[in-house]
Amino acid sequence: MAWSKLKQSLESFLSPGLNGRVEYRATSYRYVLDKAGICYIAVGKKNVLNMSDTTSGIRWYQTELEVKNDPDIRVPVSEEEIEAVRQETKGNAPEDRLQAMAGSRKKSVLAKEIFSAQSSLSKSNFIVVATKFLSTSIEESLESQDIVLNILALVDRRVGKKRLLNMAEKMKAKHPAVRYFYEMRLRTI
């Protein structure tokens, strides 16, 4: 699908409150072989999410420790996960330490998912993911681990107020870029 047609299709799904504020942009370098081009999402004429640039206004993680120490990322720990740690330590760890260990393990898994999602952001991948978004259900896009799929679903008009409010807990464990668009969408409802 040509970029202009894809852009038009994506913008037709924008929530009415974001129509005209959120734009999808792409540049390409026709005569330079080592430049693949840049794709980004702009909010109010400001580039918010550059698909290949970590210098945007949204925080990008460089290490697993940054993810673990980020106070904005809260990972809920279930009783089953605490029990699994209790069995591994054979009951020798204090109760509060078990919860911290289970949370640390879960944040390590989350860090790997975030790194994987961050590394896949490029212009060519954006086009592939945007095309996939147009052909999959909104629920699948919201549940995906892909940053771009999550963002496209969050700004979609098919996601209503009730669904947005019910996703508040899940958003605490998402990438800052996804949380940015979630909070922006909440302000428009």
- The answer to whether residue 57 scores a pLDDT higher than 70 is no
CA proximity to 122, closest of 52, 25, 47:
52
- Map out the domains of the chain as residue ranges: 64-116
| pTM beyond cutoff 0.95 | no
What pLDDT band is residue 54 in, cutting at 50, 70 and 90?
A: very low
Q: Average pLDDT of 116-126?
A: 65
Q: Average pLDDT of 62-91?
A: 84
What pLDDT band is residue 129 in, cutting at 50, 70 and 90?
A: confident
What pLDDT band is residue 62 in, cutting at 50, 70 and 90?
A: confident
Which tokens go with 47? 């580039």
Q: Tell me what percent of the residues of the chain surpass a pLDDT of 90.
A: 33
What pLDDT band is residue 179 in, cutting at 50, 70 and 90?
A: very high
- The answer to whether residue 121 scores a pLDDT higher than 80 is no
Contact 152, 128 (CB under 8 A): no
- The answer to whether residue 132 scores a pLDDT higher than 50 is yes
- 161 by DSSP, 3-state: which? helix
Q: Average pLDDT of 78-93?
A: 87
Q: Average pLDDT of 46-62?
A: 64
